[in-house]
Amino acid sequence: AVDLLTFGESLVSLRSAGPLALGGALTMHLAGAESNVAIGLARLGHRAAWVGRVSDDELGEYVLRQLRAEGVRVDGVTTDPARPAGLMFLERRTADVTRVRYHRTGSAGSALSVEDVRTPIAEGARVLHLTGITPALSGSARDAATWAAEAASRSGTLVCLDVNYRARLWTREAARATLTPLTAYASLVIASADELDLVDEPGADESTVVARLLTRGVRTVLVKLGADGARAHTRQGVRHVAAVPVTAVDTVGAGDAFSAGYLSGHLDGLDLDGRLRRAVTVGAFAVAGHGDWEGLPRRAELSLLDGHETG
């Protein structure tokens, strides 16, 4: 069994340094919230597997090549002969504002189904990491996420759900209707403050959402606060961790890095403060470097940015 299993769609991301409408050079990168987390864990020395469908062409080969190069296990990946790669354009409009445009409807990745995840789930993992992006891709991907969450939680795998709302994929109402029931299988729920009511009633505040999740069996709720760090809620109470101060050059992927750091701490058996410290440390590496995951630390590098307090 692997330490971490995750599945979803990995995209070919084409990044422009300036306004897309002006054209110019694009650079090709691997993107995808779930594969970002898998890479984060693999860099830290954990056994991480990513499952999904890739196109049967150079772009699918690129996705697999990048993941393999990062040490992520891809034996469960299916190559789809009939569907194209999912693409995204990432436009850096100003230093602080990036815009995303997807070309992923009908993609290989969006055709993910229960059949794709059955074997990897049966093989087992210590942690199953799901994000709210996967169930937004298609009906079959939604079924796969729900089936896997249920099967994994039944077999004692820790199920982590990162809400990761993407407004370009679905409405808040649709996300809420799908993600709220998924939390029944999750031990760990991760959300930014503005995503919390996507696993509860519209407009519900943090304490209400947290109380309800903890009652439903979730053990830890992590609320990501960006430059203000994060809060962790458990039945024992709430902890706050400050962010590691760095010069932010690219915040895309920071949430995935935070999740990877927290899960790495869990796999290492760290206590809550240690897990949170690792989460904000890995998150800081992500925002301090360009790209979704390129700047993520290897284990020996963690100490470069670690060394702050929780309270």
Contact range with ligand KDG by CB under 6 A, out of 109-117, 181-189, 252-260, 299-307: 252-260
Size of interface with ligand KDG, in residues (CB under 6 A): 12
Site mask for ligand KDG (CB under 6 A), range 175-204, x = bound: ------------------------------
Among 31, 199, 209, 221, binds ligand KDG (CB under 6 A): 31
Q: Is 36 in the site for ligand KDG (CB under 6 A)?
A: yes
Distance CA 56, CA 261 (A): 32
Q: Are 253 and 224 in contact (CB under 8 A)?
A: no
Q: Is 91 in the site for ligand KDG (CB under 6 A)?
A: no
Catalytic-role residue among 116, 256, 273, 306:
256
> Per DSSP, which regions of the chain are E strands?
2-7, 11-16, 26-31, 48-51, 53-55, 78-80, 87-92, 98-103, 125-131, 158-162, 188-192, 220-224, 230-234, 237-241
- Number of CB atoms found within 10 A of residue 101's CB: 12
Contact range with ligand KDG by CB under 6 A, out of 18-26, 106-114, 202-210, 247-255: 247-255
8-state DSSP, 20 = G
Q: Which residue is nearest to ligand KDG (CB)?
A: 31
Q: Is 256 in the site for ligand KDG (CB under 6 A)?
A: yes
Percent helix, strand, coil in the chain, to 5, is 40, 25, 35
Least Å distance, CB 131 to ligand KDG, is: 8
Distance CA 103, CA 233 (A): 37
Return the residues of window 7-26 that contact ligand KDG according to CB under 6 A: 11
Contact range with ligand KDG by CB under 6 A, out of 105-113, 120-128, 205-213, 253-261: 253-261
Least Å distance, CB 216 to ligand KDG, is: 26
- Listing from the earlier edge strand, what are the strands of the sheet with 11-16? 26-31, 11-16, 87-92, 98-103
Residue 256 designated active-site: yes
Tokens 């034996």 belong to which residue? Answer: 75
Q: Kindly list the catalytic residues.
A: 256
